[in-house]
Structure 1
């Protein structure tokens, strides 16, 4: 049975529009689910964490949920974390997690897996964060690996053959308040900038609800596969730097 997806609201409380079918026709990489075709014509993707009133009132960490929209705030995908209760409460934002990304009809398109990595050791540089992106679930299409640096966040993004595709470099001050935080997407090993992952300041929605909003920007003619991989990288960035505000 297909999953039932509740319609989320934007930061102002208005319901987000949902689109049933992807309009653009694009050339898809072999093996990718047809439901990813909609990514092909998009220059921007917006990711909105869904406000959970029960979590705020009770203070009990629940599975995160996200609405994935186009630039017009029309939802075309939905993401939901699948992590056991004990892991969420005990390990906080460093927890191991699975994230399932579906279309509006509940058809699973992308699966993300992050193993547990503890940063409590003096040798924390040996426990760098990783994320595996699968599409369809069970078939790895990419991996995101954190790179040790003294201050500035940095990640390298690989395809299924472990060929370096992108380097993601963040602002040195990623915890700043009342401002957006930029993560630049560079070709290969810090080549030309071809996109951005932006964490937006959410105001009261972020302060009291502990929810985060992101935009991914890239050339509209970029292939579907790297867009899907960069979408996965966004969730690793969220957990690494911005989920701690809820704990």
Structure 2
């Protein structure tokens, strides 16, 4: 099991971080540092760790009240970098009645919070009355949607594509153009029921590929981690891994992160 390091990761970028020996480093390392500085310089404040991330682990916290009472509570997650340092937390804001009556189909705001407890982004999921059923594959009014916002400004949109025999989610820019596609080539029931042997055998990880819309090349993967039989049966606290090409635009990365939460609610939330 990964050991979680809860202290704030070292600050990223900035001229004050340079040491006297930086001038003597080899040119390749200097070029890599310059590229990292370039990525961070165009990054909205608070998203620096996401801008330079290659792999993020998303771990849902077990809610004791939910385990003991069976009543659905708001979901909470911690996000870790490659060194198992916590870089963000995510907290669901939703209505208690919606959680009880609508279950996994509920609308909510998912707040992305940094280690200074500041909100750096918000994912707004819209309610779809039949979004978890078979009709969502055919009817556009039932397709899932999540808005990616920051300080009230729309940064992107994550939408479910009308694909009846496969899972396809689009990560779009604020202007509406598709940047990424998140796909798994099997039926909805096979994804939501991991014991289905047609393509998602039980007791193993479930993966979704991420490809660039422009040229179709794979730029990442979302993996739902198998948590063990006891945890899977007793709770819906899931663990995910998000791997992305490091130099993707941070707003596109933010959309891919939002897609992870949408996938969790669509397929793995009880």
TM-score w.r.t. the length of structure 1 is 0.86
1:7 matched residue in structure 2 = none
Asked if 1 retains the 8 angstrom alpha-carbon contact of 2:9 and 2:86, the reply is: no
What secondary structure is seen at the aligned counterpart in 2 of 1:17?
coil
Shift of 1:224: 1.8
Larger relative contact order (C-alpha < 8 A, sep ≥ 6)? 1
Shift of 1:74: 1.2
Asked if 1 retains the 8 angstrom alpha-carbon contact of 2:90 and 2:112, the reply is: yes
1:152 matched residue in structure 2 = 166
Counterpart among 186, 201, 207 of residue 233 in structure 2: 207
2:11 matched residue in structure 1 = 23
Q: Distance in 1 between matches of 2:135 and 2:55?
A: 38
Asked if 2 retains the 8 angstrom alpha-carbon contact of 1:154 and 1:167, the reply is: yes
1:68 equivalent to 2:79? Answer yes
Shift of 1:190: 7.4
Asked if 2 retains the 8 angstrom alpha-carbon contact of 1:100 and 1:112, the reply is: yes
Whose helix proportion is higher, 1 or 2? Answer: 2
Between stretches 170-179 and 18-27, larger displacement belongs to 18-27
Unaligned runs of 5+ in 1: 1-11
Shift of 1:123: 4.6
Q: Distance in 1 between matches of 2:4 and 2:175?
A: 37
Shift of 1:16: 1.9
Kindly report which structure 2 residues correspond to 1:66-215, keeping only aligned pairs within 5 A, or say none.
Answer: 66-119=77-130, 123-124=135-136, 125-126=138-139, 127-134=142-149, 136-172=150-186, 173-174=190-191, 175-176=193-194, 177-188=202-213, 191-203=216-228, 204-215=230-241
Shift of 1:151: 2.1
Q: Which protein is bigger by CA-based radius of gyration?
A: 2
Number of equivalenced pairs: 230
